[in-house]
Amino acid sequence: MKNLKTVFIVILILLIGSSMQNIKAQRALVNSISNDRNVKKLKNETRVLVSNEFIEEIDANNVNSDQTFSITEDIYTRVIFPIQLRKIDKKQINFDVIDENTGERYELAWFDLNTGNENGTYIDLNLKDDLYLDYFQKFSMQLADGENLLRLVVSMGIGHTATKICETEITLTKSEGEKVLIGKTFDDYTAGMSNPELETQILEFIKEYAKNDRWSEEVLEIKIESKDWTIVNHKYSGAVLHRSIAFWVYAVWPDGHCTVQGFSAKQKFNGSGFADQLLYNGIEHGQAQVDCK
């Protein structure tokens, strides 16, 4: 027991040491952009340009930067830095879109990195890029109809160590009933078979499972993905254990966005046939956001 206690203490010391090193490294990252003069230069001279068209000129002094957009428009941004940043620094750039009315935050941490000319470095981002469109859709659902004042904040670093570099404001308009569309719906998911009786059974089963498992989303529909049941045999004896079937679940969340996810259910073999009862058999496919019907 004494030896185990010693080992535990050593491991704990190593973990604490590693954690402290990570914190120091994160702080050093912000400082690594160089000295105080460069930090001041970044804060004073970094610019965020916003337009409904891709911003092509690196200098961009003559770009007509629109500041009012509809939620259905593309929103291109270019962050222009006054000094060259190392690759490791650029990977720590954070971009937050904040609704000034509600405080709702839309966080983007990954950019399409582009190295500029000798006068500086720039980073481009379309707020409605395919990589972020599902997040933008959820964010837009929380916006009020009419004009919404948004603050775009650029920072560098990790977590509470991040240093704000610059910010700008835009107005995002939303008409009544206007929605940001992803371009994919539950109708795009193909059923492997049509069996109304089994579909009803699976729907009732997964709704009950969701209730007991306290899912946040409400299950609305299912589609059977499998073309037939899959028989599962014992690894060594070959005896039949159960049969399984895969299906898609379409659900709506409290904030109004919709998702599709793949699951499977099984029926145990009782020696002469398969039981009627469906049992949960795991996740088949990760969750994907889709346009609500």
| pLDDT at residue 35, rounded to an integer | 54
- The amino acid at residue 234 is H
**Per-domain residue ranges for the chain?**
27-174, 186-290
Average pLDDT over residues 101-115: 68
Of the candidates 289, 285, 243, 247, the one whose C-alpha atom is nearest the C-alpha of residue 264 is: 247
DSSP state of 189: S
User: Helices (DSSP H) in the chain: which residue ranges?
Assistant: 2-31, 36-45, 87-90, 133-141, 196-212
What end-to-end distance do the CA atoms of the chain give, in Å? 62
Taking CA atoms, 8 is separated from 3, 4, 11, 12, 22, in Å, by 9, 6, 5, 6, 21
Percent of the chain with pLDDT over 70: 78
Average pLDDT over residues 75-95: 77
| pLDDT at residue 41, rounded to an integer | 84
Of the candidates 277, 199, 203, the one whose C-alpha atom is nearest the C-alpha of residue 242 is: 277
- The amino acid at residue 93 is I
More confident position, 208 or 96 = 208
Q: Go through the chain and tell me how many residues it has.
A: 293
| pLDDT at residue 246, rounded to an integer | 98
Q: How confident is the model at residue 158 (pLDDT cuts 50, 70, 90)?
A: confident
Average pLDDT over residues 128-149: 88
The model's pTM is 0.74
The region of weakest confidence among 112-126, 159-173, 225-239 is: 112-126
Q: What 3-state class would DSSP assign to 135?
A: helix
| pLDDT at residue 60, rounded to an integer | 52
More confident position, 245 or 152 = 245
More confident position, 3 or 216 = 216
Query: What gap in Å lies between CA 64 and CA 49, rounded to an integer?
Result: 9
Homologous superfamily of 27-174: Immunoglobulins (2.60.40.10)
Give residue-wise pLDDT tens across range 209-262: 999 999 999 999 999 999 999 999 999 999 999 999 999 999 999 999 999 999
184-220: b (≥16 Cβ within 10 Å) or e:
eebeebeeeeeeeebbebbbebbbebbeeeeeebebe
Q: How confident is the model at residue 57 (pLDDT cuts 50, 70, 90)?
A: low
| pLDDT at residue 213, rounded to an integer | 97
Average pLDDT over residues 145-168: 86
| pLDDT at residue 48, rounded to an integer | 87
Instruction: Give the helix/strand (H/E) hosting 287.
Output: strand 279-290
Give residue-wise pLDDT tens across range 41-54: 888 888 888 888 88
| pLDDT at residue 66, rounded to an integer | 61
| Alpha carbon of residue 283 to chain centroid | 19
Q: What 3-state class would DSSP assign to 17?
A: helix
DSSP state of 274: B
| pLDDT at residue 93, rounded to an integer | 78
